[in-house]
Amino acid sequence: MSDESKTVTKMLHDLLDERNYKDLKEFCCSENNQNQVVENGWDILTTLINHLKANTVDEQNLKIFQEVFIHVAKTSNPKEIILGLLEQFDPMIVLDIVELLLPPLNIVMDTLMHSDKSHHCYNLNMAFSSLVYYCESLNVPTYEQFDPLEDQAELLEELKIARYIEKCIDLARSALKIIKDQFSRNLIHATHFKAVKEEVMLFICGLMERISVLNVVHHEDNESNDTGQEMHVEKAAQNLTSMAISLHPAWSLWKDQTWKRFLPNNRQMVKEELDKIRNARACLLYILCASCSFQDQLPQIMNVQFAFSCCISAILTFLKATNPTKVHKGLTICRFVTNRLEPLSLQSSYLTQELKIVHIQHPARSLLEAAVSIATQCPSKTLRQRSAQFLTKFVNKFAWSDRFHLVFYLINTVEHSGVVGHMTVYFKDKLAEILQGEPPLGSHVFLKPSNFEKLLRKCIALPQGSETDLLSEYDRIMASLNLLRFLFLRDTNNKTGIWEQVPTIEIQFLNLLRTDINLSRMHFREELKKQSLPVKGEQAPTPEFTINGVSLPSLPPKHRVQMLQSAIHSFDMMQTVCIRVQEIMDKKPTELQTAP
C-alpha cells in the first residue's frame, strides 16, 4: 500500500471512529481529494461497508454513505470499481446495506455500457450473477399455513425480496436501454445484441425463480384490492414479465420449443441451474395466465390444445414441488389452460407424438400422478380439494379411449382409498352417460367386455380380502357398492356385461365384504362394551386398537366411545348397501335368465 493510500485509509478510519460522517463525505467528495479518491475507490468502499457492518447507522447518515458511494462510483475507474461493488453483494451483509450499493452499481454499469461496448456480455454476466446470487440468499417464508383462499398481508421476507428485485430490474433496464440505443444506431452488431438479450433473459430467469417461491397475490381489478395496499411481489413479478416481453413476444415465451433459444446455449448447466430455469419459466407462464395485465399480450388465435401442451412441463414443475405457493401456481396454470379445452378434445397420442414439445414420456399420466399426490398429501385443504377436482375434470378433456386408459391407470396404480373412490364414481358417471341413450361416439371402449371386466375387478377389489380395514377403505368400498347398485338397476339389458360378472362379484367382493363387516363390527362392539362398562378408575383400551389410523388409547375416554359408535354406524351403512346390492342382483331380469 502506498503512503498516500495509507493516509487516506487512516483519515477514513479516524472519521469513522469519530462518527463524523459529514466530514467523511466532505473528505471523499472534495475536489482537492479527487486523485486520492479515484486511486483508492475500492479501499474506500470496503472501509465504509466494514464500518456499516460493524455499527448501527441511522437512516439520515446512511444517505450520506450512499452519496459517498455514488461519488466514488462516478469518479473511479469503472472497470475496477465494479469489482469492488460486486464484492460487497455478500450474503453475510444485510439487505439494507446492499441496497445502498445498487444506485452506485447502476451508475458504474451505465458507464461501462457506454464505454466498453465490446464487453457488454461479460460485464452484464458478472453483475447479474452477483445480484442473483445475493437474491438467492434472502430468506423465503416457510408458508406452513398457506391457503390461497385466505387474504394474507405480504410478509416481511416477501417485501424484502420484492423490493430488491425491483431495484435489480431498474438496473438491468437502464443498461439494456443504453445497449438498445447503440443497436438502433448500428454501433453494435445484431449477434452481439442477441447475446446481450440472452444475458438479460438469464438474469430475468434468476430473479423469476425467486418469485416462483413466493406467494404472488393477484388482483383481478383495482376494486378487489380493498386494502388499497400495493402488492410488491405481484408488481415485481409483473415488471419482470414486462421486461421479458420487451425482449421477446409473449407468444414466443409461451411456446416450449422456442423458449430455450432465448438463453445462452454455449454454457453447460448443471442440474440445479436447469431446475431453476424450469421454475422460472413456469413462473413466467403463471404470471401470463393469472395477471390481467398480460391478457392483451397473448394472441387470441392460439390453438387451445397447443397452448395446453406448451404448459405441461411448467405445470409438472410446480405440481411436483413441496412449496405450497408453487403448487398453487401450478394448479392456476392448469385451470387457465384446461378451462379452454372442450371435453373429448385431447388425445394422449397427440400430446406425446404429434407435438413433441413435452419431453415427458406420458404427459397425461404424469399430470394425473402429480395431482393425486397433491390431493392426498398436500397440507393445504384448499389445494387438496382443487387438485381432486382437477382429476376428473382433466380426464374428461380426453377422448373416450384415453379416458378409459387413464381411469384404469389411476385405479390400478393409486392406493389411496379416496382417490380410487373418486375414480370409481367417475367410472359410474361415464357408464350412466353411455347407458342413457345412444352411446356417445367412441364410448364403446368402456363396454368392450375385456376392458369392462378389467376395470370392474379393480374397482371391487378388497386390498386385504376379508381382513381389509373397512374404515380406511370406506370411500372406495362405498363407491364400488354404489357402482354395482347402479349397474344392476340400470343395465337391465346387460349392455355392459355386468350380469356375467355376478359370480365373480359374489365370490371376490360381496362374500368377503360381508365377512369383513361382521368381524369388524363384532370387534368394535366388544371394544365399545369394554369402554362402556362402569369400572373403577379409567378403563384401559386394548393397546393396539386403532380406528382409521388413530390409536384408541391416545384419545380421551369420551371420544373413544364416540369414535367406536361412529365406526359401527359406518359398518351398518355398508351392510345396508351390501344387502341392497345383493337383493337387486338376485332379481335377475327374466329376459336375461332365458338367455344362453
Partner 1 sequence: MITEIDDNQPPALDNAIDLTEKKDGGVLKVIKKAPTSDEQPRKGNKVTVHYVGKLKDGTEFDSSRDRDSKFSFNLGKGEVIKAWDIGVASMKKGEVCELHCKPDYAYGKQGSPPKIPPDSTLIFEVELFEWEGEDLTEAKDKGVVKQMLVDGQDYITPNPGATVNIKFTGKYKGTVFDERELEYILCEADDELNLPPAIDIAVKQMKREEKCNIIVQPKYGYGSNGNEKLNIPPDAELSYDIELIKFEKVKEAWEMLDEEKIEQSKIVKEKGTKYLKDNKFKQAILNYKKIIDYLSYHDAKIDGSEEDQKVIKEWKELKLAGYLNLSLACIKAGQYAQAHNNCAEALKMDPKNEKALFRDAEAYRHEIDFKHAKAAYAEVLKVNPNNGTARKFMKDCAAKIQEQAEKEKSKYKGMFDKFAKQDKEHEIRQKVEQKEKAKAAKKVNEKGDVNGDQPMEAEST
Residues that bind partner 1 (CB under 8 A): 249, 251, 255, 258, 260-261, 265, 268-271, 295-297, 299-306, 339-342, 349-350, 352-356, 361-362, 365, 413, 415
Q: How far is the CB of 335 from partner 1 (least distance, A)?
A: 11
- 551 backbone dihedrals φ, ψ, rounded to 5°: -75, 125
Closest approach, Cβ 274 to partner 1, in A, equals 8
CB 314 within 8 Å of CB 281 = yes
Nearer to partner 1, 177 or 267 (CB): 267
| Distance in Å, CB of 254 to partner 1, minimum | 10
Q: How far apart are CA 78 and CA 104, in angstroms?
A: 10
Given a contact cutoff of 8 angstroms between Cβ atoms, the answer to whether 212 and 282 are in contact is: yes
Residue 263 CB, shortest distance to partner 1, in Å, is: 11
Cβ proximity to partner 1: between 362 and 580 the closer is 362
Nearer to partner 1 among residue 362 and residue 454 (C-beta): 362
Report in angstroms the alpha-carbon separations of 267 from 193, 263, 304. 18, 9, 34
Indicate the residue among 249 and 379 with the shorter CB distance to partner 1.
249
Locate 532 and state its grid cell: 362402556
Report, in Å, the least distance between residue 521 CB and partner 1.
28
Q: How far is the CB of 354 from partner 1 (least distance, A)?
A: 4
Nearest to partner 1 of 66, 352 (CB atom): 352
User: C-beta of 331: minimal distance to partner 1 in Å?
Assistant: 18
CB nearer to partner 1: pick between 25 and 397: 397
Q: Is residue 120 within 8 Å of 196, Cβ to Cβ?
A: yes
As a whole number of angstroms, the distance between CA 31 and CA 26 comes to 9
Q: 3-class DSSP state for residue 476?
A: helix
Strand partners, 550: 547
The nearest distance, CB 412 to partner 1, in angstroms, is 8
In one letter, which amino acid is 498?
I
Spell out a b/e string for 195-217, using b for 16 or more CB atoms within 10 Å of the CB, else e. Answer: bbbbbbbbbbbbbbbbbbbbbbb
Task: Give the CA diameter of the chain.
Answer: 115
Which is closer to partner 1, CB of 302 or CB of 561? 302
Sequence letter at residue 373: S
Q: Which three cell numbers stand for residue 68?
A: 459517498
**Shortest CB 504 distance to partner 1, Å:** 21
Question: How close are the terminal C-alpha atoms of the chain, in Å?
Answer: 106
User: What span, in angstroms and rounded, lies between the C-alpha atoms of 402 and 348?
Assistant: 6
Nearer to partner 1, 150 or 272 (CB): 272
Choice between 46 and 258, CB closer to partner 1: 258
295/566 with CB nearer partner 1: 295
Question: Could you give the angle at the alpha carbon of 72 between the alpha carbons of 70 and 78, nearest 5°?
Answer: 100
Determine how many CB atoms are found less than 10 A away from the CB of residue 182: 18
CB of 368 to partner 1, least distance (A): 13
3-state secondary structure of 339: helix
Give the residue with the Cβ less far from partner 1, 32 or 265.
265
CA 501 from chain center: how many Å?
Answer: 44
Tell me the three-class secondary structure of 88-144, residue by residue: CCCCCCCHHHHHHHHHHHHHHHHHHHHHCHHHHHHHHHHHHHHHHHHHHHCCCCCCC
* Least separation in angstroms between CB 191 and partner 1: 12
Which residue from 361, 289, 350, 293 is spatially nearest to 318, judged by alpha carbons? 289
